[in-house]
Structure 1
Amino acid sequence: MCGIFFSIARDRPCLPDPRIVSNLQARGPDSYRVLNATVSPALAESVHLTFVSSVLALRGDVIQQQPLCDHDSGSILCWNGEAWKIDGVAIEGNDSAQVFDLLLQASQSTEPAAHQRICDVLTNISGPFAFVFYNALTSTVYYGRDRLGRRSLLVNQSDDQSLTLASIGVPNSKTPHLEVSPESIHYITFEKSSIKTGELPWLNAPPAINKEVPTQPPALIPSALSVTQCLTQLREALEFRVVDIPDHSHSQVRPGSAKVALLFSGGLDCTLLARLVHDILPTNEPVDLLNVAFENPRSIAANVSRTKSPYELCPDRITGRSSFSELCEVCPARKWRFVAINIPYSEVVAHRPTIIRLMSPHNTEMDLSIAMALYFAARGRGVSSENQQGPDVTEADFSSTARVLLSGLGADELYGGYSRHSAAFERGGYSRLADELEMDINRIGSRNLGRDDRVISHWGKEVRYPYLDEDFVRFSLHLPVWEKTGFRPGKKVPKHYEDALQVDIPENLEPAKLLLRLAMWQLGMKRAATERKRAIQFGARTAKMDIGKGRTKGTDTLVADG
C-alpha cells in the first residue's frame, strides 16, 4: 500500500507541503521518494510533473521503493494497490514491479493503440488499486482507481491548468478536491499546442446481477451446493489477502505479534472471515480482533442508573465478546486476541479535526460517525484478552502491530443485509430485491471506500475486503436472489430491533444474508450465525454523541468548529 502525490505545474515543480508529506509518510512508513519530470511538447512553456510515493511494504522479500522509473524511456509509475491476479494468473512477489513492466510493454506504440493496450493491462488486474502512470513516449499521464473504488485518489484542478492528485486531501486549497471517479480510466496528454484530457472506458462490462425470478416457490433455504461454493470462493479470496505477509516494519515486532487483524464487531460478516482465517493460517499465528467502543455522553445520560462500564454497554462490545468466546470454543488451538478499544469522549474531541480532514471531501454527520469508528479501530490500541479457557482472563494494555486489516464490507450489498433489502422484497418480491442489490453494487465504488481508505491508512495499516474480491463478487452476483437470501413469500421478516431468536435449526435463521448464515452454521459457529446487522455508528455508539446539538440527521452537513 502506498501514498501518492502527483502534480502538474507551469512555473516550477509543485512539491507537497509539510502536512501532506507527514500524512503520506503515515500511510507509507517504509519508503518515501520524490521524482520530477519536465514535458516540453513545443508549448510556449515547459510543464513540470512531480511524482511522490510513500510505501507500506506488504508484498515481496524487499521494500520496493516508489515511484518506479524506467530510465530508458523516462516513464514513471506511482502504484497504490494489490494486484492479486493479472489476466487470471496469480501474482507472486512484488506486484508493483510486474504491473510497471506490463504498462511499459503496452506503451510501446503510438496513440490510440497505446490507450487501448494500457486499458487492457489495467482492466485485467484483480485487486484494489489507485495509480498514476506517465507514458513518456507519448507525453501522457494516466490515472484512476479500480472499478470498485477500493483505494483513495483525490483530484484538485485549478483554473491555470495546474492539477494535483493525491491519496489524501490537500489542505488550504483554493479549489475543492474531489474523488476520482472509478467508472473509467482518466488521461492527460501534452500535445504541441494544448493539453488534452479524456476518459477511457474499462474494456469489459462489469458483472451483471442475476435478475431471474423463480417460476415456482423456491425451497425454504438455499441449497447445500450454494453454501459449499460460497465457502470455497470466500476462502480463496481470503488466501490471497492473509498468506505470506512480509514483515518490513521499522519497529521491532514482539514475538507472538499478529500479522493479520480484523475490524471486529462480532457480527456475521467479520466473524465468518475470522473463522475462515483459522482454516488458512498456521495455528501458531495469532489473530487480533479489534473491537471499538465509545463513551457517548447521550447514551450515558440516558442510562444514569447503570453502573456498568459505558464501553461494555455498547452493542458491538457485547456481540464482539460473544463471538470471540465462540471462536475460542470452536477453534481453541488458535491464539485469538480480543482487543477492547475504549475511546473516551475527550479523545474523540481531540482527534475530531484530524478525522474530518482525512475523510474530506465527505462531510456529513454520518461520514464522521463511521470514519471515527474506523479511525480508532485501525489504530489498534486497547486492552487485550486472549483465549477464554476459564473464569480468569488476563487483560493487558496492548497495541496491535498487524499491518493488514480485514473488513467485512461488501457482504450486505451482495447478500441483502440492509433493512431496505427486506423492505424492497416486501414491496415488489424478488424482482424489486434484485433491483435494490444491483443499485448497491453499482454505486459501491463511488460511495465510501475512498473515505475509509484515507481514515484507516493513516495508521500505516492496509484494509482488505475479501467480500469485494472480483471472483467472489462475480460468483455472488451470478446467484439467484433467493439463493443468497432467505426472503420467501409469506415468511415473517424479523425487525432488526427484536431480540435475537433462539435458533435451533437453520431454517429459523434470519432471512437477510441467509447463505452466509448457513455457511457460518456449517462451520460450527451457530451463535454468530444468528447475529443481526447493525450499522457501525450505532454498534460502537459514535452516532449523535454531542448533547448540545439537538436533533441531527446522518445526512446533515458538518458545521465547522468554532
Structure 2
Amino acid sequence: MTGPNQVLTQLRVTHMLRDAGLHINQEFRAKTLFLSFEQCFVFILVTCFDLQTLLCHKMCGILCTLCRRDEFAEKAIYERLLPLVKNAIQRRGPDYCREECFEVNDWRVCMFASVLWLQGNEIAQQPKIDENRNILLWNGDIFGGLPVAEGMSDTLGLSEALEATGGSHEQILQVLSSIQGPWSFIYWCEDKKELWFGRDALGRHSLLWNTKSQNSLVVTSIGKRGYDLEEVPAIGLFVGNISDENFNLKLYPWHTTEIRAAVQTFHLEKILNLRISDDVKVVSNYCPSTLQVPAEYDNFIGLIKDYANQTKEFDVKTFYEVLLTEPKVKSRVERLIYELKLAVDVRCRFQPVKCKTCASSRIAQCEHSTVAVLFSGGLDSTLIAALACASVQQNRSIDLINVSFPYSQPTFSSKKKQPADPFINVGEKIIPEELLIKTDPNYETPDRKTGKASFAELSKIFPTTKLNFIEVNVTKDELIENRNKHIADLIYPLKSILDDSLGCALWFAARGKGIKHNSTGQIVSREYTSTANILLLGMGADELLGGYSKYRKDFGKKEDWLKIATLLAHDLAVIPYRNLGRDDRVVSDSGRQARYPFLSENFVQFIATVPAYLRTAPFGFLPLGVGEKLLLRLAAYSIGLQVSSTAPKRALQFGSKIAGLEGKSEQGHNVCPRLLLPE
C-alpha cells in the first residue's frame, strides 16, 4: 500500500534527477514505488544500463556419455538410450543442437547440447570448444558474480574464464562458485583429461547420472523411464580423471552441504571410485540459517500477544498495522521487498526483447507477454506478480497462469454444515463477486477462486499494467494422455504420488494453453497459448520463511523458538535435495525457463540472517493464514495485497484439485503406479 513516505521518496528522486537533466516517466514511478530513497538510486544505477545487451542467455539441454570402447554390451544400451534422450533434450532447446565426440585412451566421450535461443544477436553454439580444445556444456543463467563482457553470451564468458584457469582445480572452483544464478554444467579439460560436472548450490537446474558401472558414465539434463538414472546431488562439484585406466571421481562439497547427511541420503559410498575432498570446500553464495532466538521479552512478540489478548474480534488489517509500528520489523519488511524486487526484476529483464511467438520473425520487438507467473492467487505467487508489474515494460502484458482440474463443489446434508474456507471468505469480503471474472464452473477449484480474487486486486492496484488471467482447464483424459506421452519421463527418476501431482500440474501450467481473460473481465481468446519466454515460480518461500504447518505443530505451547530456528536451518540446507530438478525438467519441456525469485542468492542470504521469530509466528492462537510466513505477509500487506496477505497456505496439488482426481486417499510419499512403465 503506497504511503506518504513512498510519495516523498519519489518526489525527492524526481526533482534531483530532473536537475541532472534526466526525464522521469510513469514507468520509473511504477518501478520505484516500493523503494526507499537509497534503494531508488541503486535501482537507477542498475537500470541506466541496457541489461538486455549485457548477457546473452539461453536455455539448454546437455548430455555427456563416457564409455569404454570395448564394452559392446553397455555401448549397445547407450546407443538405444541416446536417441530417446536427445529427442527429449531438443524439446528443451529447439533452436540449435550439435554433438562432439572424441577418444581418450580406451574411452569414447560424446558431448551433446541443444540450445533454446533466449537472447543475443546470434545463437551461442554448444558444445563450446575453446582454442585449447576444452569443451563446455552450459545450461544456466549468470545474473551476477562472474564478470561477462557487454554483448557476450554467458556461455562464451564462462568458457573464457574456465580456459584462463589452465585446469587448476582451485581456480575452476573459484570461477564456478562466483556465479549468481541457476545452472548445471559439464566441462572437459583437455590438458588434464578431466571431466567436470555439477549443479549450483541450490540445485535449481536438472542433472541426472548413472554411476553404477566402472565402464561407463552418463550425465544428462533429462532421462527416460526404463534406464537406470538418478539425480546428480547438488552437494558440490564432481571431477573425474580418465588419463588412467579407471575413471576416478572426486567431489568438492559446497560449504553449506551437511556432508555426513548427504553421504547417507544419496548413498555416496556406493558410487565406485568416489573420493570426497575433506580439505577443500566450494564457497556457496549464501550462508546457513541463523539459530538466533528472541530475548526473554521481545517487543515484537509482545505486540503479537498483546493484540491477541486484548481484542475480542481478531482483525487482520489492524493486527498488521500494529506490527508494522515495530522498527526492526518495518526495516526488515522494507529490505525484503527491496531484495525480492531486485530478484524479480533481473529475472524479468534478462531475456529477449521478443516473445516466443515472434522470436523468429523479422520485427524488431513486440508487445506480447514475455513473462508469465504460476498464479494460484496465494501469497507467494501474488507478491511475485505484483513486483513483476513494476519490472515489466508497461507496453507488455503479463500472463498469470491458473491451472485447475475437474472439480465439483461437495454437497452437504442439512445436518452437516459446510466447512468455511477462510481464504475465500476474506477474498469475498475484499473483492465483491461481481468484480470477479467469469470462468468455467466445472473447474471452480480453491486456486481458481483465490486466483480470480487476487487477479481483481492486482488489476485495481496496477491499472496501467496489462494483466492476462490464463484459465487452464485440464480434463482427466488430457492428463492421462500427456502423462503417458511426456510427463512421466520428465518426472523420472522421481516416482511418488506427490511427484506425479506436482509435476503434472506444473507441466500444464508451463504449457500455458487456456482461455485468456484481460483485466476488464473480457475473454480475449479461448484458444490462447502463452507467448512468455520465462515462468516465474514461488518455490522456496515456505522453506525460507516458515510456511509449513509443521512449524505450528512443533512450536506448541512451549513456544520453543530454538526448535523453529533449527527447523528453518534444516529446511534451507535441504532445498538443494528437494525437487527443483524435477520442476526444471517439467517446465523446460515447453521451451520456457523456470525462474525462482525467492531462491535468488542475495534474497536467500538476507533471509538466512533474519531470526526465526521475525520470519514466522506459529502461535496457535493466531488464525490460519496470519502467522505463517508473517514477514512475507507484512510485505504483501504493505504494498496493498490484502487478499493474498491473509491467505492460508494451500499446496498446488490441493488447490488445483489434481490430488485425488485419479485415486482417493493416496499417500504422497508412496510410489505412483501411473508413473511406472507398464510391465
User: TM-score, normalised to structure 1's length?
Assistant: 0.88
After TM superposition, the structure 1 = structure 2 runs for residues 12-51 of structure 1, keeping only pairs within 5 Å, are 17-40=82-105, 46-51=106-111
Looking at structure 2, the residues matched to 439 and 515 of structure 1 have their Cα atoms a distance apart, in angstroms, of 19
Equivalent residue number for residue 536 of structure 2:
406
State the one-letter code of the partner of 1:321: K
**Is 1:5 the equivalent of 2:63?**
yes
**Is 1:383 the equivalent of 2:515?**
yes
8 A contact 1:30–1:248 mirrored in 2: no
Equivalent residue number for residue 438 of structure 1:
569
State the one-letter code of the partner of 1:553: Q
Distance 1:251 1:386, change over 3 A: closer
Out of 186, 193, 196, the position equivalent to 1:139 is: 193
Out of 189, 192, 199, the position equivalent to 2:241 is: 189
Looking at structure 2, the residues matched to 10 and 471 of structure 1 have their Cα atoms a distance apart, in angstroms, of 43
SS class of match (1:148): coil
8 A contact 2:139–2:185 mirrored in 1: yes
Equivalent residue number for residue 651 of structure 2:
535
Out of 503, 516, 519, the position equivalent to 1:371 is: 503
8 A contact 1:58–1:248 mirrored in 2: no
Q: How far apart are 1:348 and its partner, in Å?
A: 0.9
SS class of match (1:3): strand
After TM superposition, the structure 1 = structure 2 runs for residues 293-332 of structure 1, keeping only pairs within 5 Å, are 293-295=404-406, 309=440, 311-332=442-463
Distance 1:57 1:402, change over 3 A: same
Looking at structure 2, the residues matched to 532 and 301 of structure 1 have their Cα atoms a distance apart, in angstroms, of 20
Q: How far apart are 1:81 and its partner, in Å?
A: 0.6
Equivalent residue number for residue 208 of structure 1:
288
Looking at structure 1, the residues matched to 125 and 649 of structure 2 have their Cα atoms a distance apart, in angstroms, of 41
Out of 180, 194, 218, the position equivalent to 2:299 is: 218
After TM superposition, the structure 1 = structure 2 runs for residues 481-560 of structure 1, keeping only pairs within 5 Å, are 481-487=612-618, 492-495=621-624, 510-546=626-662, 549-559=663-673, 560=676
Could you report, residue by residue, the CA deviation over 1:134-182 in whole angstroms, capped at 9, with x for unpaired residues? 0001000000010100000000135352111111114442xx2111011
Give the unaligned 5+ runs of structure 2.
1-58, 255-281, 304-322, 419-438
Q: Considering only aligned residues, what root-mean-square deviation do their CA atoms show, in Å?
A: 2.5
Q: How far apart are 1:553 and its partner, in Å?
A: 0.7
Looking at structure 2, the residues matched to 394 and 160 of structure 1 have their Cα atoms a distance apart, in angstroms, of 58
SS class of match (1:413): helix
Could you report, residue by residue, the CA deviation over 1:517-545 in whole angstroms, capped at 9, with x for unpaired residues? 11111212222211221000000011121
SS class of match (1:277): helix
**Is 1:85 the equivalent of 2:85?**
no
Looking at structure 2, the residues matched to 160 and 223 of structure 1 have their Cα atoms a distance apart, in angstroms, of 55
Out of 470, 477, 490, the position equivalent to 1:339 is: 470
Could you report, residue by residue, the CA deviation over 1:11-47 in whole angstroms, capped at 9, with x for unpaired residues? 288666332222111100111111112212xxxxx21
Looking at structure 2, the residues matched to 11 and 449 of structure 1 have their Cα atoms a distance apart, in angstroms, of 35
Equivalent residue number for residue 269 of structure 1:
380
Equivalent residue number for residue 590 of structure 2:
459
SS class of match (1:61): coil
Looking at structure 1, the residues matched to 161 and 444 of structure 2 have their Cα atoms a distance apart, in angstroms, of 53
Looking at structure 2, the residues matched to 95 and 395 of structure 1 have their Cα atoms a distance apart, in angstroms, of 37
SS class of match (1:56): strand
- Range that drifts further, 55-64 or 27-36: 55-64
8 A contact 1:257–1:400 mirrored in 2: no
- Range that drifts further, 198-207 or 345-354: 198-207
Equivalent residue number for residue 259 of structure 1:
370
- Range that drifts further, 365-374 or 154-163: 154-163
SS class of match (2:239): strand
Q: How far apart are 1:303 and its partner, in Å?
A: 8.5
8 A contact 1:291–1:339 mirrored in 2: yes
**Is 1:105 the equivalent of 2:184?**
no
Equivalent residue number for residue 203 of structure 2:
149
Looking at structure 2, the residues matched to 539 and 4 of structure 1 have their Cα atoms a distance apart, in angstroms, of 34
8 A contact 2:225–2:492 mirrored in 1: no
Distance 1:487 1:218, change over 3 A: farther
Q: Matched residues, percent identical?
A: 33
SS class of match (2:585): helix
Q: How far apart are 1:249 and its partner, in Å?
A: 7.0
**Is 1:278 the equivalent of 2:357?**
no
SS class of match (1:142): strand
SS class of match (1:85): coil
8 A contact 1:84–1:91 mirrored in 2: no
Distance 1:26 1:303, change over 3 A: farther
Could you report, residue by residue, the CA deviation over 1:408-434 in whole angstroms, capped at 9, with x for unpaired residues? 111111111111122222255211111
Looking at structure 1, the residues matched to 614 and 245 of structure 2 have their Cα atoms a distance apart, in angstroms, of 57
Looking at structure 2, the residues matched to 321 and 263 of structure 1 have their Cα atoms a distance apart, in angstroms, of 13
SS class of match (1:50): strand
Distance 1:158 1:413, change over 3 A: closer
Looking at structure 1, the residues matched to 523 and 586 of structure 2 have their Cα atoms a distance apart, in angstroms, of 32
Looking at structure 1, the residues matched to 635 and 661 of structure 2 have their Cα atoms a distance apart, in angstroms, of 36
Higher radius of gyration, 1 or 2? 2
Q: How far apart are 1:89 and its partner, in Å?
A: 8.5
Could you report, residue by residue, the CA deviation over 1:261-283 in whole angstroms, capped at 9, with x for unpaired residues? 00111111111111111112221
Looking at structure 1, the residues matched to 440 and 386 of structure 2 have their Cα atoms a distance apart, in angstroms, of 29
Give the helix-richer structure, 1 or 2.
2
State the one-letter code of the partner of 2:330: A
State the one-letter code of the partner of 2:112: V
Distance 1:115 1:4, change over 3 A: same
Give the unaligned 5+ runs of structure 1.
41-45, 497-509
8 A contact 1:300–1:310 mirrored in 2: no
Distance 1:303 1:399, change over 3 A: farther
Equivalent residue number for residue 230 of structure 2:
178
State the one-letter code of the partner of 1:435: T
Q: How far apart are 1:235 and its partner, in Å?
A: 0.9
Looking at structure 1, the residues matched to 386 and 171 of structure 2 have their Cα atoms a distance apart, in angstroms, of 41
Q: How far apart are 1:393 and its partner, in Å?
A: 5.3
8 A contact 2:198–2:207 mirrored in 1: yes
Equivalent residue number for residue 52 of structure 2:
none
Q: How far apart are 1:561 and its partner, in Å?
A: 6.3
Looking at structure 1, the residues matched to 214 and 667 of structure 2 have their Cα atoms a distance apart, in angstroms, of 38
SS class of match (2:574): helix
Q: How far apart are 1:357 and its partner, in Å?
A: 1.4
Distance 1:322 1:550, change over 3 A: closer
